[in-house]
Structure 1
């Protein structure tokens, strides 16, 4: 008899774990989707414009401090990296502000923190030493002048 009682207890336990309402199923689905979104690669939205003289790249980087931006270039490639830190990370050095913020932890946060990086390869060379970057209202605008290398080489034909 005793083994049957244990089996009944195990069956009851499993049934009680599986009893969920449709709303709980939706909550679980939303939680899984949120985890996938936050686990996926974070890439800022961008616009790229071309004129006869330059390429202009505009990235949306809301909430990023100017110090968290890094712009690098090679002959044809522009690499832009950014870091968005949470308020807790930013206040880690300030103990008083850190204690005050710990009391106000969010119940839900859909903000994305971490590092982002985008690279852009252009069809023509750029002048990496003459890049111009401005950051205002969450938009980073980088202008990369096209290289003006028009060299003519005269080759002596022998024969």
Structure 2
């Protein structure tokens, strides 16, 4: 009989919990699209954007830029685990790129934007421009023609 049909399609030495790992990661969001989860808020006169980036070296793996009134955050992650036992060796790695673009209010000065990283959270602060004199909203009457 052909060897392909004799071997099971999965490794019987793995525990049922190990075999469920990809499914667990999918439901926890680990396999979701390459998007970064963010929180946006206004603190006084500053727009604050917080991005979840645990396990990342901000100096090596994160790129922040501003273009066309958008804040662009790009990150990459590489993670590897190894298990060595008496009759067993198992290695698993995960890697990927993640990005997110957040629109900025008109008038934000690129030179005033700052970023910090602490406890797996990237925080970007952008001072908001002063409110300019704007005409009040007015209703436009529609005429039938």
TM (normalized to structure 2)? 0.58
Distance in structure 2 (CA, Å) of the matches to 1:33 and 1:39: 9
Give the corresponding residue for 1:44.
36
Q: CA deviation at 1:137?
A: 1.1
Name 1:72's counterpart in structure 2.
Answer: 65
Corresponding position of 1:114 = 96
Correspondence 1:51-62 to 2 at 5 A: 51-62=43-54
Cα distance change on mapping 1:103 and 1:140 into 2, 3 Å: same
Give the greater-gyration-radius structure (CA).
1
**Structure 1 residues 55 and 123 mapped into 2: Cα distance closer, same or farther (>3 Å)?**
same
Are 1:128 and 2:110 an aligned pair? Answer: yes
Q: Name the one with the larger helix percent.
A: 1
Residues 83 and 115, structure 1, Cα contact 8 Å, conserved in 2: yes
With the length of structure 1 as denominator, give the TM-score of the two structures: 0.54
How many residue pairs align between the two structures? 117
Coordinate RMSD, CA, aligned: 4.1
Q: Gapped runs of 5+ residues in structure 2?
A: 6-15, 134-145
CA–CA separation in structure 2 for the residues paired with 1:48 and 1:129: 20
Gapped regions of structure 1 (runs ≥ 5): 1-13, 15-25, 89-100, 152-159
Measure the CA separation in 2 of the matches of 1:106 and 1:73.
45
RCO higher in 1 or 2 (8 Å CA, sep ≥ 6)?
1
